[in-house]
Amino acid sequence: MLQPQRRREEAADVTGHGMYRRRDTRREKLVAEIAAELRRYSVDAQHVGHAFANLHGLGATDLQALIAVMDAELAGQPITPGRLGEQLSLSSGSVTALIDRLERAGHIRRDRDTADRRKVFLHYAERGAALATDFFRPLGRRTDEVMAGFGDDELEVVHRFMAAMTASMREHRDTVRAARDEPPRRAKG
């Protein structure tokens, strides 16, 4: 009686993409499993970030912010507090506090734009770069290990797939975010 009675086949299709609906054909199984794996991967990646951050006395948001700062600067266009807030979905007040924390800890530094002195550019500091390295290196090693098991043509397929999934997810993110800002329209009008 410890074992639950409900079988998978009886469960409702909660997900809309077959995660819990019947999976008869091989293809349907594949689709469902890939979707589930992507979800697991994302959740686990998130928890890795959380755990790593705490291990170094930071919150999960702080690590994300540090990475965003580095991404932006290494891409050649340092990020501003405003854009960082957009990326992380934080209010302006939270962003200031976040930057204060990271700056106090020596991970990043502020720099006012000389042209438009309202703007602040965020740059990573030595300590921040070191932390990011410690975070990414083991991940990179693992990634390389996995990818070693695939041929160039196979990675090409994976890349095409991931590019499409990423684009779709980003679109969806913007949709959901837009839904958060719009509803403030009154009924009737």
Partner DNA sequence: CCGAGTATCTCGATGATCGAGATTATCGGC
Partner DNA sequence: GCCGATAATCTCGATCATCGAGATACTCGG
Question: Which one, of 117, 116, 114, 109, lies nearest residue 73 by Cα?
Answer: 109
Q: Is 120 among the residues that bind DNA (CB under 7 A)? A: yes
**Measured from the CB atom, is 15 or 42 closer to DNA?**
42
**Measured from the CB atom, is 46 or 166 closer to DNA?**
46
Question: How far lies 28's CA from each of 23, 38, 75, 154, in Å?
Answer: 5, 16, 39, 21
Stretch touching DNA by CB under 7 A, among 15-23, 36-44, 84-92, 149-157: 84-92
Question: Which one, of 42, 62, 79, lies nearest residue 166 by Cα?
Answer: 42
Stretch touching DNA by CB under 7 A, among 5-13, 96-104, 143-151, 161-169: 96-104
Is the CA virtual torsion 62, 66, 68, 69 positive or negative? positive
* Residue written as token pair 């975010």: 177
**Contacted by 90, from its own copies, DNA, none: CB < 5 to 8 Å by type:** DNA
Return the half-sphere exposure (C-beta side, CA atoms, 13 A cut-off) of residue 115: 1
**Contacted by 118, from its own copies, DNA, none: CB < 5 to 8 Å by type:** DNA
Q: Which of 4, 93, 151, 184 binds DNA (CB under 7 A)?
A: 93
Stretch touching DNA by CB under 7 A, among 95-103, 139-147, 148-156, 158-166: 95-103
**Contacted by 4, from its own copies, DNA, none: CB < 5 to 8 Å by type:** its own copies
CB-CB contact of 61 with 90 (8 Å): yes
